[in-house]
């Protein structure tokens, strides 16, 4: 059963990820990216990461993608800027190097991860629930959590400062 | 029961698609979306390893990655708006001011 859902979500994620990079119109790319993020949220649930799946849908597919669409609409690109992308040579090298990264990952999985014996751990009952994530965030990971708030503050100030029009 | 290696392979495929999009596209918005795709592929790998190892640390790390991605999206989109305002285009090739 888990395998069936893995195949479904995985296929949807890969196809919509391809659609993100192949669509001419950036609005369609953004909508495809939302589908990818949603299916990755499904894969999170398959792996007991319930809290992260909700955060993925709310923060990523909700907030961040709305920001993306908003900026695409704000830029108001004319049709001709979507035009065909020339540069055959660069496209060739891009294909070669991303294929190399993929092959490298396949080799790592084949010889290192597949080679190990499956541990078959039994997970604790509350693995991935909001309670456990929250408890960890406020005990072991309190310092990174607080630093994160400063990071968000800096990002907010920076974004306002950058996008503000000079008077 | 799906083995962890399938998830890592899926994550690798998504990451490579992100790299490909980053390299072949010239529209600055699509380049930025490819970066988000790569971040998500890395998140998927982290969650898979967290389940494999039975440790929650991986999931906490994904939470922090998402926060950083949100901050990055905010600042990045502000820079894109600024870029468009100065160059009147959304093509990454027009960002050549600091090129030697």
CA-based nearest distance A140→chain B, Å: 9
Q: pLDDT, tens digit, for every residue of B19-57?
A: 999 988 888 899 999 999 999 999 999 999 888 888 888
Q: What residue ranges do the domains of chain A occupy?
A: 2-128, 129-167
Could you write out the three-class secondary structure of chain B?
CCCHHHHHHHHHHHHHHHHHHHHHCCEHHHHHHHHHHHHHHHHHHHHHHHHHHCCCHHHHHHHHHHHHHHHHHHHHHHHHHHHHHHHCCCEHHHCCCCCC
Q: Which residues of A touch B50 (CB under 8 A)?
A: 47, 49
**Looking at chain A, which residue has its C-alpha nearest residue B76?**
A159
CA-based nearest distance B22→chain A, Å: 8
Q: How many domains does chain B have?
A: 1
Would you state the CATH architecture of domain A2-128? Up-down Bundle (1.20)
A2 and B68 in contact by Cβ < 8 A? no
Please tell me which of the candidates B37, B54, B60 has its beta carbon nearest to residue A141: B60
Residue B96 lies in a domain: no
Residue B61 lies in a domain: yes
Dihedral sign (CA B82, B86, B88, B90): negative
CATH number at residue B14: 1.10.287.3510
Residue B25 lies in a domain: yes
- pTM for the whole thing? 0.90
Q: Does B86 touch chain A (CB under 8 A)?
A: no
B30 and A21 in contact by Cβ < 8 A? yes
Q: Which residues of A touch B93 (CB under 8 A)?
A: none
Q: Which residues contact A24 (CB under 8 A, 6 or more apart)?
A: A82
Q: Does A81 touch chain B (CB under 8 A)?
A: yes
Kindly give the confidence (pLDDT) of every residue in chain A, 167 residues in length, as a single tens digit, with 9 standing for 90 and above. 888 999 999 999 999 999 999 888 889 999 999 999 999 999 999 988 899 999 999 998 889 999 999 998 888 776 555 555 567 788 888 889 989 988 988 888 877 766 565 666 677 777 878 888 889 899 999 999 999 999 999 999 999 988 887 76
Q: Which residues of B touch A38 (CB under 8 A)?
A: none
Residues of the domain holding B80: 4-91
- CA angle, residues B66, B56, B72, in degrees to nearest 5: 10
- Chosen from A13, A129, A165 to mutate, greatest number of chain B CBs within 10 A: A13
């Amino acid at each position: 059963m888990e395998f069936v859902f893995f195949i479904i979500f995985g296929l949807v994620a890969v196809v919509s990820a391809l659609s993100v990079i192949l669509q001419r119109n950036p609005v369609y790319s953004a909508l495809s990216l939302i589908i990818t993020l949603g299916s990755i949220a499904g894969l999170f649930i398959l792996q007991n990461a319930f809290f992260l799946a909700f955060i993925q849908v709310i923060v990523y597919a909700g907030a961040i993608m709305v920001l993306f669409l908003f900026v695409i609409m704000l830029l108001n690109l004319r049709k001709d800027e979507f035009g065909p992308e020339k540069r055959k040579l660069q496209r060739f090298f891009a294909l070669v190097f991303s294929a190399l990264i993929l092959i490298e990952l396949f080799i790592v999985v084949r010889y290192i991860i597949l080679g190990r014996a499956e541990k078959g751990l039994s997970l604790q009952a509350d693995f991935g629930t909001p309670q456990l994530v929250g408890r960890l965030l406020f005990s072991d990971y309190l310092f990174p959590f607080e630093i994160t708030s400063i990071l968000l503050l800096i990002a907010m100030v920076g974004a306002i400062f950058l996008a503000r029009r000079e008077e | 029961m799906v083995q962890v290696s399938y998830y890592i392979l899926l994550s690798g495929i998504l990451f490579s698609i992100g790299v490909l999009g980053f390299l072949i596209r010239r529209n600055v918005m699509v380049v930025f979306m490819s970066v988000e795709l790569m971040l998500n592929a890395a998140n998927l790998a982290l969650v898979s390893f967290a389940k494999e190892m039975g440790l929650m640390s991986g999931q906490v790390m994904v939470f922090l990655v998402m926060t950083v991605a949100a901050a990055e999206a905010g600042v990045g989109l502000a820079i894109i708006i600024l870029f468009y305002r100065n160059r009147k285009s959304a093509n990454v090739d027009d960002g050549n001011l600091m090129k030697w």
